[in-house]
Chain A
């Protein structure tokens, strides 16, 4: 009896002390000192897109702690490559942390889903994913959305130009059975048709598949001049290795999503001669000195690699760096108009972002307009060939 009587009391005491503690914490941390700029970041640091999200997360830590004399707080959340979590993160950042800017997310589906949150809460957002749909066509919602990753279409055009000059007439496509593979397929099939390149195969596989023999045999039966693989990271090595193993001698093109050292490590000698489009960061040291973004790209790489080891900087982290550069350029103008943490500041920041002109970032040069919230031109992509297990700029 004694035991059962004392138990509830002890529980309520525990409950009370927890709520007191919680209240104390809330008082201490809920309201950041006024006038600090708060940046909310959501990246896919775990899950299928982790190889893209991790360098982005690491890069946020390199961004400056103060801009124009104002302290900047970065709050980084992981959305586990999951769309629902990305939206939840965005809502949490806006509602609880009162962020002035959202940076994120890593993947296209996540970024698309977050647009509603950005528009509804009137918070500017900078996405780091590739699909053009994130900022096009411009409407009332995308009014608040910017992005720093080159459009798929820009990358695809580079591939197709290269194919035309190499006299490729027939192409087969092997891609991921997900939004990434579908996105590349849509852009590629559209532009290839215009440029009179015939597509003779279209196959899909999953990121975690242990074999693509079926797809490869089917594609080879159509005897294409070249094959484009629409996959990201090391999983893109599997079809390439199978193609070489089955004796394919033609050209193999990869998408820009493979541009990291792990891909070279896993693919090994089977990737010799592979062509891919990429942001110029990948071959920053080989860029001609006249390239406007060479210095910025090298600066980013040096800073990233001092902390995370040589050869570890990737184009994906570059998108996060560029998002930071946009903020650095836009914040001073917005600070003149309003105090951070207010609706007015967010609007002023958005206007300043849209007004970005001729800003040199690691991936190229950004000139935004009311219709173009990406602002990259042809300078933001190069063709790269894999040669002796390293990236080589195709001139």
Chain B
């Protein structure tokens, strides 16, 4: 292995690691706020990438139907709740909140040929289609069982993962898709050739991470999320609704997932089931941070990316084994160094 190969591998590892880092942040966020270990995180990556690909192919993405179905279901549930509380006057608002965006998107997609739009607009359209799935899933699946134990939430989360990946197979087919690169530029630094797209992924990831930092440190919503993560009951007493915190964290998770999907789909082929493995690697990163620390999770995810890249050079057949075996020493290290606190169930 000479220096050039080492550099190329490092570049590759950091690119993948940046995506894993984004996902690990989303996992930590969802877990701290709602105690859900969000297995379907990776599905948003696949949905983001494949929705963009089908928009570009001039097809109507199945994501739209899923969005409409979930929105109608959520509206129905909300209406039943409103009627039960004897507050029928809430119904118009419920309908507007749940169904306005899907209806607008459906109308837009039926009028405008998405394939001929500029790439930036296609990306925005993709995010508009995929991101609302996050809060809708929270409303329908996790909100009714918000007080259940972590184990129950995990099991439900696994079932959501299986459902979503099955739907993705139905919507997008068994074969994968690639989207055209955002930029064809290449840069030469020393011996190494750096693809513009790679640079874009790394920059975009770090920008998003910085934006998240700003969000949590400087905005009221971000602080509300942090407060809920630290102490749910305490936050509630301060007037922070656990439900809106949950919805917000799921929206952010969906945004991060879909955005990651859009970012990597020009570099690699994404399949309906690609998301799971990508999400799992983000999860390994999140374990590094003990499902609580954002910087540690991001660092862990970058490490996973680098380890993956170098092990694919030295022992390609054992790559996954090496990456996932990493969890064991990390867990040992964490259980030895952190004080164990009984979970309040």
A residues lining the B interface (CB < 8 Å) = 46, 48, 50-51, 53-54, 177, 203-215, 217-218, 221, 233-235, 237-238, 245-246, 260, 262-263, 266, 268
Contact = CB atoms under 8 A, between A and B. Distances in A.
Interface string B306-338: 001111111011011000000000000000000
A204 B317 contact: yes
B316 to A, nearest CB: 4
Contacts of B15: 211
A215 B269 contact: no
Given A204-B316, A211-B16, A234 B175 contact: yes
Given A214-B309, A260-B175, A262-B175, A208 B273 contact: yes
B312 A215 contact: yes
Interface string B156-196: 00000000001001000111111000000000000000010
A217 B166 contact: no
B309 A233 contact: no
A234 B309 contact: no
B175 A210 contact: no
A234 B320 CA distance: 20
Contacts of A218: 313, 316
Given A46-B166, A51-B174, A234 B271 contact: yes
A23 to B, nearest CB: 32
Contacts of B274: 208, 210
Nearest to B175: A262
B174 A210 contact: no
Contacts of A51: 173-175
A234 B312 contact: no
B117 interface: no
Contacts of B268: 209-211, 238
Contacts of A204: 316-317, 319
A322 B310 CA distance: 45
A214 B312 contact: yes
| Most chain A CB atoms below 10 A, which of B5, B16, B273, B316 | B316
B176 A235 contact: yes
Contacts of A206: 277, 319-320
Contact of B264 (A210, A212, A235): A210
15 contacts: A48-B273, A51-B174, A177-B317, A203-B316, A206-B277, A207-B271, A210-B267, A210-B268, A211-B268, A214-B316, A235-B271, A238-B268, A262-B175, A263-B175, A266-B176
Given A234-B175, A234-B176, A260-B175, A214 B277 contact: no
Nearest to B273: A208
Contact of B316 (A205, A237, A238, A245): A205
A210 B308 CA distance: 11
Contacts of B195: 245
A295 B173 CA distance: 30
A275 to B, nearest CB: 21
Contact of A211 (B5, B173, B312): B312
B28 interface: no
Contacts of B314: 214
Interface string B1-40: 0000100110010011001000000000000000000000
A253 to B, nearest CB: 19
Given A206-B319, A210-B16, A211-B267, A217 B8 contact: yes
Contacts of B317: 177, 203-204
Interface in B185-228: 195
B287 interface: no
A211 B320 contact: no
Nearest to A81: B174
A204 B169 CA distance: 25
Nearest to B305: A211
A206 B273 CA distance: 13
Contacts of B9: 213-214, 217
A50 B169 contact: yes
Contacts of A233: 174-175
A243 to B, nearest CB: 13
Contact of A46 (B8, B19, B169, B308): B169
Contacts of A260: 175
A262 B276 CA distance: 22
Interface string B260-296: 0000100111010110111000000000000000000
